[in-house]
Amino acid sequence: MVNLKNKKITILGGKRSGMALARLIIRLGGIAKISEQASESSLPEDFRNWAIARNVALEFNGHTQAFIEESDLVVLSPGIRFNAPPVKWAHDRGIAVLGEIEFAAQFCNKPIIAVTGSNGKTTVVTLINKVLQKAGYKSCLCGNVGMPFSEFVLESNKKDFFVLEISSFQLESLLDLNSSFRGNHSNGVLHFQGFKPFIAVVLNFSQNHLDRHKDLEEYFQAKMRIFLNQTSEDFAVLNYQDERLKEYSSQLESKVIFFNSTQNQTAKEIKNPNHSVVIKVAKILGIEESVCQNVFTTFEGVEHRLEVVRSLDGVKYINDSKATTAESGRWALKSIDQPIVMICGGRDKNIDFTVLKDLVKSKVKRMLVIGEAKAKLSQAFEGVVPVEECNSLEDAVLRAKEIAHQGDCVVLTPMCASFDMFLDYEDRGRKFKDIVNKL
């Protein structure tokens, strides 16, 4: 375990991950500092009081070189790009830079099951965690699912496994311990091990986060960093139906297991690739498939992912706020059999929505668009389906109620990020449910 005693560690980005990092560093005897781009009010008052009481230096309204210069280590929250100016300042001064996931992994002594992909991550990690618990293991679900790894990593002695949902943002900062760029990682005082999941899962790959990554290739390579430090003792679980992942598998040192293959699969597994991957992970761990099937039968889904809110006047309302890509929108539309009134929009991630033209034409009776991307969405589906622009989520829901008839389904499946109008997709989903429940 890395010794943090009296080491000065600057956290770039506050919010949920940054606050968890600060608490972890203080518990381990380090000196924590937080530099946050937003204003002081972006951090809860109780946390600010906690930080002040423990001499945690706080910087708001932007990152400065002076705040970083005396650090022994810089740790990034997922929202900070790895090519951001403060990261370059740190590298120029020979200061090691780690992402939150990689930093937390230094203090984990139990096997990690890490799951990434463009769509379906939250559902899969939730199912894996439930299967582990049903099989009698003590497991912890955290990461991009909403609970930072740093918050729970010191519970390692009480757990058998950690199940992590990981985004490309969290993976892009992972570095190969053998690379020359990592030559300044020790900084004379700190020595790190790489992030090395026992089981690394990539569910799929499609266009996403092109507002952050310069192109699809950079996005793909960020995802593939999940395998970076694996050895022949570890496992890589990949989607057999994704040609690019199949091609990449030949480069891996870990044992490759494919899921979503038409061979040796039941009809249910073929229909639901999420179940297929969970069964493969369970098999690696020696867990009987019957345990998985029991979990599948009782699983009611995750919040904000095709979550049924209520039925009113014969119309079903579904919260799919976690759908932030065209492909997750595709999954939602294919999962619903009724005629659909679709609410979508938000902050564009440079995604090509036109890939859904045929599906939208066959499934959607009316599209209501909101947020910064509403003009782009209107243009993408012009002539495909009637599209109306709405000023707010509430306006869209009220309009959907006017349009929908008995037997229809109103679904919020944004295909966009939430940050133009909401704190995050969870905030968006909760507000949608509040509006629907007041109808």
- Chain-centroid distance, C-alpha 343: 22
* Shared domain check, 334 and 261: no
The neighbouring-strand residues paired with 256 are: 236
Per-residue pLDDT tens digits for 111-133: 999 999 878 889 999 999 999 99
Give residue 24's domain range. Answer: 8-93
Residue 60's domain is classified under what CATH number?
3.40.50.720
Query: Comparing C-alpha atoms, which of 205, 259, 260, 200 is closest to residue 225?
Result: 200
Domain-located, residue 222 = yes
- Give the three-state DSSP class for 408: coil
* Shared domain check, 76 and 118: no
What is the spatial distance between Cα 121 and Cα 277, in angstroms, rounded to a whole number?
11
* Shared domain check, 110 and 198: yes
The gap between the terminal CA atoms of the chain, to the nearest Å, is 54
* Shared domain check, 412 and 329: yes
**CB-count exposure of residue 317 (10 Å: 0-12, 13-18, 19+):** buried
Domain-located, residue 3 = no
Structure-token pair, residue 372: 């910064």
* Positions in the chain whose pLDDT score sits under 50: 177-188, 208-210, 213
This prediction's pTM: 0.83
* Shared domain check, 402 and 273: no
pLDDT of residue 186: 44
User: How many domains does the chain contain in total?
Assistant: 3
pLDDT of residue 263: 63
Domain-located, residue 1 = no
What is the spatial distance between Cα 198 and Cα 161, in angstroms, rounded to a whole number?
10
The identity of residue 246, as a single letter, is: K
**Alpha carbon separation from 279 to 227, 258, 284, 285, 372 (Å, rounded):** 20, 11, 9, 10, 40
pLDDT of residue 204: 85
Cβ of 313: how many Cβ atoms within 10 Å? 10
99 φ, ψ to 5°?
-80, 165
Q: Contact at 8 Å (CB) between 178 and 215? A: no
Q: Which of 240, 275, 298 is the last residue of a domain?
A: 298
Query: Comparing C-alpha atoms, which of 182, 180, 100, 178 is closest to residue 142?
Result: 100
* Shared domain check, 234 and 111: yes
179-198 in b/e form (b: 16+ CB < 10 A) is eeeeeebebeebebebbbbb
152-174 in b/e form (b: 16+ CB < 10 A) is bbeeeeebbbbbbbbbbbbbbbb
Structure-token pair, residue 180: 């020359």
Domain-located, residue 2 = no
- The angle formed by the CA atoms of residues 84, 86 and 87, to the nearest 5 degrees, is 65
Domain-located, residue 43 = yes
Helices 289-298 and 121-134, packing angle to 10 deg = 120
pLDDT of residue 209: 46
